[in-house]
Amino acid sequence: MDSCYQANHDKYDWLIFYEIDEFLYLRNYKNVKNFLSNKKFNDCESIRLNWVHMSDNNHIFYENKPLSERFTEKGKNVAYHHKNKICYVKTIIRGHLQNIKINQNHLLSDKIKGCDGFGKKNQLKGIMSVNPDYNFNYIKHYFGKSVQEFVEKINRGDLLRGNSKNIVKWAIEKFFYVNKITSEKIQYIQKNLGLKYNLSYYMEKLDKRI
Protein backbone atom coordinates (compact mmCIF):
# COMPACT_ATOMS: atom_id res chain seq x y z
CA MET A 1 0.00 0.00 0.00
CA ASP A 2 2.82 2.37 0.84
CA SER A 3 4.65 1.77 -2.45
CA CYS A 4 1.36 2.23 -4.33
CA TYR A 5 0.73 5.51 -2.56
CA GLN A 6 4.25 6.81 -3.16
CA ALA A 7 4.00 5.97 -6.88
CA ASN A 8 0.52 7.40 -7.43
CA HIS A 9 -0.33 10.05 -4.85
CA ASP A 10 0.44 12.92 -7.25
CA LYS A 11 -1.92 11.49 -9.89
CA TYR A 12 -5.11 11.19 -7.83
CA ASP A 13 -7.15 13.19 -5.32
CA TRP A 14 -7.93 10.09 -3.24
CA LEU A 15 -6.59 6.53 -2.96
CA ILE A 16 -8.66 3.72 -1.48
CA PHE A 17 -7.07 0.53 -0.15
CA TYR A 18 -9.73 -2.15 0.19
CA GLU A 19 -9.69 -5.87 -0.54
CA ILE A 20 -11.46 -7.60 -3.41
CA ASP A 21 -14.22 -8.93 -1.10
CA GLU A 22 -14.89 -5.51 0.45
CA PHE A 23 -17.46 -3.03 -0.87
CA LEU A 24 -18.24 0.58 0.00
CA TYR A 25 -21.76 1.16 1.25
CA LEU A 26 -22.78 4.83 0.92
CA ARG A 27 -26.41 5.15 1.90
CA ASN A 28 -27.20 8.68 0.73
CA TYR A 29 -24.78 9.01 -2.19
CA LYS A 30 -25.06 7.98 -5.84
CA ASN A 31 -21.43 6.94 -6.08
CA VAL A 32 -18.02 7.32 -4.43
CA LYS A 33 -17.15 10.46 -6.42
CA ASN A 34 -20.31 12.11 -5.13
CA PHE A 35 -19.32 11.11 -1.60
CA LEU A 36 -15.71 12.34 -1.80
CA SER A 37 -16.63 15.68 -3.38
CA ASN A 38 -18.65 16.66 -0.30
CA LYS A 39 -17.34 19.92 1.19
CA LYS A 40 -17.27 18.43 4.68
CA PHE A 41 -14.14 16.48 3.67
CA ASN A 42 -12.24 19.57 2.44
CA ASP A 43 -10.07 19.67 5.56
CA CYS A 44 -9.66 15.89 5.90
CA GLU A 45 -6.56 14.03 4.81
CA SER A 46 -8.11 10.64 5.47
CA ILE A 47 -11.65 9.31 5.77
CA ARG A 48 -11.89 6.32 8.05
CA LEU A 49 -14.95 4.15 7.61
CA ASN A 50 -16.11 1.33 9.86
CA TRP A 51 -15.47 -2.16 8.63
CA VAL A 52 -18.39 -4.62 8.88
CA HIS A 53 -18.21 -8.38 8.39
CA MET A 54 -21.37 -9.54 6.60
CA SER A 55 -22.80 -12.84 7.82
CA ASP A 56 -23.41 -16.02 5.82
CA ASN A 57 -27.21 -15.52 6.15
CA ASN A 58 -27.13 -19.17 7.25
CA HIS A 59 -26.49 -20.27 3.64
CA ILE A 60 -24.69 -23.58 3.36
CA PHE A 61 -24.35 -23.64 -0.43
CA TYR A 62 -23.31 -21.20 -3.15
CA GLU A 63 -26.02 -19.44 -5.18
CA ASN A 64 -25.44 -17.72 -8.51
CA LYS A 65 -26.68 -14.32 -7.33
CA PRO A 66 -24.96 -11.01 -6.44
CA LEU A 67 -23.35 -10.88 -2.98
CA SER A 68 -25.58 -7.97 -1.97
CA GLU A 69 -28.67 -10.16 -2.53
CA ARG A 70 -27.28 -13.30 -0.91
CA PHE A 71 -25.82 -11.77 2.24
CA THR A 72 -27.91 -8.98 3.74
CA GLU A 73 -27.29 -9.47 7.46
CA LYS A 74 -24.39 -8.01 9.42
CA GLY A 75 -22.27 -10.48 11.38
CA LYS A 76 -23.11 -11.16 15.00
CA ASN A 77 -19.79 -9.61 16.06
CA VAL A 78 -21.18 -6.13 15.24
CA ALA A 79 -23.18 -6.09 18.48
CA TYR A 80 -20.04 -7.14 20.36
CA HIS A 81 -18.11 -4.29 18.77
CA HIS A 82 -20.74 -1.75 19.78
CA LYS A 83 -20.86 -2.97 23.36
CA ASN A 84 -17.08 -3.10 23.81
CA LYS A 85 -16.23 -0.11 21.58
CA ILE A 86 -14.02 -2.27 19.37
CA CYS A 87 -14.90 -0.66 16.08
CA TYR A 88 -12.23 -1.09 13.44
CA VAL A 89 -11.83 1.27 10.49
CA LYS A 90 -10.31 1.23 7.02
CA THR A 91 -9.11 4.35 5.31
CA ILE A 92 -9.53 6.46 2.20
CA ILE A 93 -6.38 8.60 1.89
CA ARG A 94 -6.12 11.95 0.16
CA GLY A 95 -3.53 12.23 -2.59
CA HIS A 96 -0.69 14.75 -2.77
CA LEU A 97 0.37 14.25 0.87
CA GLN A 98 4.10 14.52 1.41
CA ASN A 99 6.48 12.58 3.64
CA ILE A 100 4.03 9.96 4.90
CA LYS A 101 4.45 6.22 5.26
CA ILE A 102 1.54 3.78 5.29
CA ASN A 103 2.23 0.79 7.54
CA GLN A 104 -1.23 -0.75 7.24
CA ASN A 105 -4.70 0.36 6.22
CA HIS A 106 -6.10 0.25 9.75
CA LEU A 107 -3.42 2.34 11.38
CA LEU A 108 -2.11 5.59 9.94
CA SER A 109 0.14 8.23 11.42
CA ASP A 110 -1.55 10.60 13.87
CA LYS A 111 -0.05 13.39 11.77
CA ILE A 112 -2.61 12.62 9.06
CA LYS A 113 -5.83 14.52 9.76
CA GLY A 114 -8.56 11.91 9.96
CA CYS A 115 -12.33 12.16 10.05
CA ASP A 116 -15.24 9.75 9.96
CA GLY A 117 -17.76 9.24 7.15
CA PHE A 118 -19.66 12.34 8.25
CA GLY A 119 -16.64 14.64 8.18
CA LYS A 120 -16.35 14.74 11.97
CA LYS A 121 -12.80 14.94 13.31
CA ASN A 122 -11.40 13.50 16.54
CA GLN A 123 -13.73 10.50 16.33
CA LEU A 124 -10.85 8.04 16.34
CA LYS A 125 -8.62 6.34 18.84
CA GLY A 126 -5.83 4.44 17.12
CA ILE A 127 -7.52 1.98 14.74
CA MET A 128 -10.85 2.28 16.56
CA SER A 129 -13.70 4.71 15.97
CA VAL A 130 -15.30 6.38 18.96
CA ASN A 131 -18.76 6.66 17.41
CA PRO A 132 -19.11 3.72 15.00
CA ASP A 133 -21.37 3.97 11.98
CA TYR A 134 -22.92 0.75 10.69
CA ASN A 135 -25.89 2.39 8.99
CA PHE A 136 -24.80 5.09 6.53
CA ASN A 137 -21.19 5.01 5.28
CA TYR A 138 -19.21 1.85 5.93
CA ILE A 139 -17.40 -1.07 4.29
CA LYS A 140 -19.11 -4.41 3.78
CA HIS A 141 -16.64 -7.27 4.08
CA TYR A 142 -17.88 -10.59 2.67
CA PHE A 143 -15.25 -12.66 4.48
CA GLY A 144 -16.78 -16.15 4.45
CA LYS A 145 -19.87 -16.02 2.23
CA SER A 146 -21.69 -19.39 2.27
CA VAL A 147 -20.22 -22.31 4.21
CA GLN A 148 -19.37 -24.06 0.93
CA GLU A 149 -17.43 -21.03 -0.34
CA PHE A 150 -15.69 -20.61 3.01
CA VAL A 151 -14.45 -24.22 2.94
CA GLU A 152 -13.29 -23.88 -0.67
CA LYS A 153 -11.39 -20.73 0.32
CA ILE A 154 -9.66 -22.50 3.21
CA ASN A 155 -8.80 -25.52 1.04
CA ARG A 156 -7.12 -23.24 -1.52
CA GLY A 157 -4.74 -22.07 1.21
CA ASP A 158 -3.47 -18.67 2.23
CA LEU A 159 -1.18 -17.04 -0.36
CA LEU A 160 1.22 -15.66 2.24
CA ARG A 161 0.85 -18.10 5.14
CA GLY A 162 0.09 -21.41 3.48
CA ASN A 163 -2.50 -23.83 4.83
CA SER A 164 -1.27 -24.91 8.25
CA LYS A 165 -3.47 -26.01 11.13
CA ASN A 166 -2.92 -22.61 12.76
CA ILE A 167 -4.28 -20.82 9.68
CA VAL A 168 -7.26 -23.17 9.51
CA LYS A 169 -7.92 -22.67 13.23
CA TRP A 170 -7.77 -18.87 12.83
CA ALA A 171 -10.13 -18.92 9.83
CA ILE A 172 -12.72 -21.15 11.52
CA GLU A 173 -12.63 -19.08 14.70
CA LYS A 174 -13.18 -15.93 12.66
CA PHE A 175 -16.00 -17.55 10.69
CA PHE A 176 -17.92 -18.47 13.84
CA TYR A 177 -17.07 -15.13 15.42
CA VAL A 178 -19.09 -13.55 12.60
CA ASN A 179 -21.70 -16.26 11.97
CA LYS A 180 -24.12 -18.32 14.02
CA ILE A 181 -22.97 -21.79 15.05
CA THR A 182 -25.23 -24.57 13.78
CA SER A 183 -24.74 -28.33 13.66
CA GLU A 184 -25.30 -28.31 9.87
CA LYS A 185 -22.41 -25.87 9.36
CA ILE A 186 -20.11 -27.80 11.66
CA GLN A 187 -20.87 -31.09 9.91
CA TYR A 188 -20.29 -29.58 6.44
CA ILE A 189 -16.93 -28.07 7.45
CA GLN A 190 -15.80 -31.26 9.19
CA LYS A 191 -16.68 -33.38 6.16
CA ASN A 192 -15.26 -31.13 3.41
CA LEU A 193 -12.23 -29.47 4.95
CA GLY A 194 -9.05 -30.69 3.21
CA LEU A 195 -6.84 -30.32 6.28
CA LYS A 196 -8.78 -32.09 9.02
CA TYR A 197 -9.52 -30.00 12.07
CA ASN A 198 -11.40 -31.07 15.20
CA LEU A 199 -14.57 -28.99 15.57
CA SER A 200 -15.68 -30.57 18.85
CA TYR A 201 -15.18 -27.20 20.61
CA TYR A 202 -17.94 -25.66 18.50
CA MET A 203 -20.23 -28.66 19.02
CA GLU A 204 -19.80 -28.25 22.78
CA LYS A 205 -20.53 -24.55 22.48
CA LEU A 206 -23.66 -25.34 20.47
CA ASP A 207 -24.76 -27.96 23.01
CA LYS A 208 -24.38 -25.47 25.87
CA ARG A 209 -26.39 -22.85 24.02
CA ILE A 210 -29.18 -25.33 23.30
pLDDT by residue for the chain (210 residues), tens only, comes to 888 899 999 999 999 888 889 999 999 999 999 999 999 999 999 898 988 899 999 999 999 999 999 999 999 877 655 555 557 788 899 999 888 887 766 666 666 788 899 999 866 666 667 778 888 999 999 989 999 999 999 888 776 666 677 788 888 888 998 999 999 999 999 899 887 777 887 777 775 654
Q: Is 142 helix (H, G, I), strand (E, B) or coil?
A: coil
**How many structural domains compose the chain?**
2
Beta 124-125 vs 89-94: how paired, if at all?
unpaired
57 and 158 both lie in a single domain: no
Instruction: Please state, in angstroms and rounded to a whole number, the distance separating the CA atoms of residues 71 and 51.
Output: 15
134 and 171 both lie in a single domain: no
101 and 183 both lie in a single domain: no
34 and 87 both lie in a single domain: yes
Q: Which residue among 125, 141, 157 closes a domain?
A: 141
68 and 160 both lie in a single domain: no
Q: Write out the residue range of the structural domain in which residue 152 sits.
A: 147-209
Instruction: Please state, in angstroms and rounded to a whole number, the distance separating the CA atoms of residues 134 and 77.
Output: 12
28 and 11 both lie in a single domain: yes
The answer to whether the CB of 71 falls within 8 A of the CB of 57 is yes
21 and 50 both lie in a single domain: yes
pLDDT of residue 160: 62
Report the predicted TM-score, pTM, of the whole model to 2 decimal places.
0.85
81 and 161 both lie in a single domain: no
Alpha helix positions (H), 31-100: 32-36, 67-70, 77-84
78 and 20 both lie in a single domain: yes
Q: Which residue among 86, 111, 141 closes a domain?
A: 141
Q: Which DSSP helix (H) or strand (E) runs through 194?
A: none
114 and 186 both lie in a single domain: no
Q: Which residue among 103, 120, 141 closes a domain?
A: 141
87 and 133 both lie in a single domain: yes
161 and 122 both lie in a single domain: no
DSSP annotation of 103: S
